[in-house]
Amino acid sequence: MIGRGKVKKQVVNKCQNCGNEYTKNYCNSCGQKIFTANDKSIKHIFEEAFHFITHFEGSFFTTFKTVLFKPSKLTLDYCNGVRKKYFKPISFYLFLVVLYLLFPIFSGLNMEMGSYTSLPIIGKTVSHQIEQRTTQANITEDKLAEKFEHKSHSTSKILLLTLIPLTSFLLKMLYWRKNKDWYKNLILATEINIFYLLLFFLIFPIIYISILLLFRLNDLNDELIGTITTILFGIYTSVVFRNVFKSKRWVSIMKGFLFAFIHTFLIIYIYKILVFQLTFLLI
């Protein structure tokens, strides 16, 4: 006679997160993992730290290399479900935004108040606003500039987020027949802006320092910097458009450089105007 084995009694756990009762290792309501004594051990803490570092490093550098050397691959892979090996595009972009604004190599996106007075078109208006504010508030321009710089760090970060929807809209206008997937459009806009920040933060600084050392120069003017970055950006977006929208080579080049010029205009004028006006309003 075959004996019956003992039926193992299932342990009912109560989720500390949502209060749901469950018998597995994870709550079937909110997904919270069961908390055990092992989770409190020093060994487990180091295991989690090691996992985070290796996962972060792997996905971060994979995304970094893909954006730089394989234009549009991040967008195409991500929209086709290949995501595990990549850092989330929006998170990657936000990380670069914070990094750039904390350690700006060029004044570009993180300008001092006085620098806005030399901008074409709005320079005189800015000068008048500064003069009017110092008179009304009975404050020195240096003190006002100090307050402006303190506040602009936060406003410039927030407003950089507007580049993604603005870029997405611009892509829609350039390829309104072929570009009907808004999700793909936003991911592509994010990838393009990731490259733009990398261009300013990594690629151009290397070129910039190399030129200064090679030709023994003290500095390069902003116009030359803008021209070189726009050309590099135009080449990149031309390749992206060719890969994503499958347009003819000459169409991709034409639209790629048109996009680069408009995007640069958005950064140099529209973005900087918004940063100044919002910051000035808040101080």
**pLDDT digit string, tens, across residues 204-244:** 777 777 777 777 766 666 667 778 788 889 999 999 999 99
Give the pLDDT of residue 22. Answer: 64
pLDDT of residue 153: 76
The pLDDT of residue 221: 62
**What is the rounded CA–CA span in Å between residue 54 and residue 69?**
22
Would you state the pLDDT for residue 109?
64
Longest dimension (CA), the chain: 102
Long-range Cβ pairs for the range 101-108 (8 Å, 24+) = 101/153, 101/156, 101/157, 105/200, 105/201, 105/205, 105/208, 106/200, 106/204, 106/205, 106/208, 106/225, 108/200
The stretches in the chain having pLDDT less than 70 are: 1-13, 16-17, 19, 22-25, 31-57, 103-110, 217-223
DSSP run (H or E) holding 132:
helix 123-136
Give 132-146 pLDDT, tens digit per residue. Answer: 898 888 888 888 888
The helix or strand, by DSSP H or E, that contains position 100, with its residue range, turns out to be helix 89-102
The pLDDT score that the predictor gives to residue 12 is 61
CB 153 within 8 A of CB 164: no
pLDDT computed for residue 4 by the predictor? 55
Q: Which helix (DSSP H) or strand (DSSP E) does residue 14 occupy? A: strand 13-14
| Closest among 253, 267, 168, 183 to 225, alpha carbons compared | 267
Q: Under a CB-based contact definition with an 8 Å cutoff, are residues 92 and 194 in contact?
A: yes
Distances (CA, A) of 157 to 76, 163, 278: 27, 11, 12
DSSP state of 180: -
Per-residue tokens: 54: 């290796």
Note the pLDDT of residue 254: 95
What is each CA distance from 264 to 90, 104, 167, 233, in whole angstroms? 20, 18, 11, 9
pLDDT at 257: 96
- Cα separation of 197 and 174, whole Å? 22
